[in-house]
């Protein structure tokens, strides 16, 4: 697929206007306040992953509406220090899988929490374990259109709330330096990590690759791939529902979350990405942190001949190098 979005020089200065609902902040403050009424962690159970150099736990924490959300928590074995933590959010249609699947951050010396996607996990990977008991709102089978006509009902309101609570949960787990927590994600996970950056003011870092939910209206005009295609298919049947759908999506817009972020940020984007068009990632990057009144460290890496896979393993190495010196292992208190 040839490049189909704006040329790179235009992307690098692309700062589109964002139509934010006037109650955007109140909407999310009230949503998170409702979820923050109890201790986040429900249970922490050790599991045998079959690996000798890592230790793993099956964690259940309270997410949206107090619902139980599952996650894998993994640490390097026999490491007594307090560790910085990476909270990772999975891609669209994927669940948390198995505890030995994602070991990069653990092998780099971090504690790692991989959050399950509620109501997802059946499209690829090795499944999930978190149902979504609120998924009866109007919409198609895909998570992106569940509750599309009302932001209070939309799947991503619940998933983003779960993600914010995942940060609170990892801070409550043993052996974690709660002052050093990073949010990481690719595709849907990247959009969720960006939302966390906008909603958790004391996050230590954000690493976002090919983020979904950035420049949503433009993406709907550019592509029929992936979740945006599901939204378009819904609107093709429900003619005239666009105003309600657009209003819902305005509460989920990644650019709006990016504007409210404080943490240092690392972005990656493939310029031939037809699933999450690169103009959305650049818009979020260019407007990142503009409302917080702070100067934050940020960088973006573009891969001109790559699509949704972006820089793949090369980009992961760049993430690891960027994190060095930003999050440090701390001595365990005596």
- With contact defined as beta carbons under 8 Å apart, do 86 and 108 qualify? no
What counts of helices (H) and strands (E) characterise the chain? 11, 9
Residues 6+ apart with CB under 8 A from 141: none
Please tell me which residue in 256, 273, 279, 315 is annotated as part of the active site. 273
Please tell me which residue in 112, 154, 262, 308 is annotated as part of the active site. 308
Please tell me which residue in 187, 250, 256, 279 is annotated as part of the active site. 187
187 is catalytic: yes
- With contact defined as beta carbons under 8 Å apart, do 121 and 128 qualify? yes
CA distance 261 to 263: 6
Count other C-beta atoms under 10 Å from residue 225's C-beta: 18
Cα–Cα distances in angstroms (integers) from residue 211 to residues 19, 36, 306, in the given order: 19, 26, 15
Structure tokens at 318: 């760049």
φ, ψ (nearest 5 deg) of residue 172 = -95, -5
| Polymer length in residues for the chain | 334
Cα–Cα distances in angstroms (integers) from residue 88 to residues 96, 108, 139, 163, in the given order: 10, 14, 27, 9
Encode burial over 35-49: b for 16+ CB neighbours within 10 A, e otherwise.
beeeebbeebeebeb
- With contact defined as beta carbons under 8 Å apart, do 276 and 219 qualify? yes
Which one, of 165, 164, 187, 170, lies nearest residue 267 by Cα? 187
**Catalytically annotated residues:** 187, 273, 308
């Amino acid at each position: 697929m040839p490049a189909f979005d704006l040329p790179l020089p235009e992307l690098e200065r692309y700062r589109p206007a964002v139509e934010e609902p006037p109650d955007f902040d109140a909407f999310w403050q009230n949503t998170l306040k409702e979820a923050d009424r109890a201790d986040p962690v429900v249970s922490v159970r050790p599991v045998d992953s079959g690996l000798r150099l890592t230790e793993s736990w099956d964690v259940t924490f309270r997410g949206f509406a107090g619902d139980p959300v599952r996650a894998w928590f993994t640490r390097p074995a026999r490491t007594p220090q307090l560790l910085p933590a990476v909270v990772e959010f999975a891609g669209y249609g994927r669940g948390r899988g198995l505890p030995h699947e994602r070991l990069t951050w653990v092998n780099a010396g971090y504690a790692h929490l991989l959050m399950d996607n509620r109501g997802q996990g059946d499209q690829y990977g090795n499944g999930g374990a978190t149902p979504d008991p609120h998924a009866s709102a109007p919409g198609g089978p895909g998570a992106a259109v569940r509750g599309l006509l009302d932001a209070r009902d939309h799947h991503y309101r619940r998933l983003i709330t779960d993600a914010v609570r995942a940060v609170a949960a990892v801070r409550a787990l043993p052996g974690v330096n709660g002052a050093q927590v990073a949010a990481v994600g690719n595709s849907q996970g990247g959009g969720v990590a960006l939302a966390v950056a906008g909603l958790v003011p004391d996050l230590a870092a954000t690493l976002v690759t090919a983020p979904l939910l950035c420049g949503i209206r433009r993406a709907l005009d550019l592509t029929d791939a992936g979740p945006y295609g599901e939204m378009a298919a819904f609107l093709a049947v429900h003619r005239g529902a666009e105003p309600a759908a657009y209003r819902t999506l305005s509460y989920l817009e990644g650019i709006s979350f990016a504007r409210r972020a404080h943490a240092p940020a690392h972005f990656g984007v493939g310029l031939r990405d037809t699933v999450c068009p690169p103009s959305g990632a650049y818009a979020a990057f260019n407007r990142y942190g503009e409302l917080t009144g702070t100067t934050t460290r940020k960088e973006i890496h573009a891969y001109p001949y790559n699509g949704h896979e972006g820089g793949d393993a090369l980009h992961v190495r760049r993430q690891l190098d960027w994190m060095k010196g930003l999050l440090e292992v701390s001595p365990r208190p005596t």
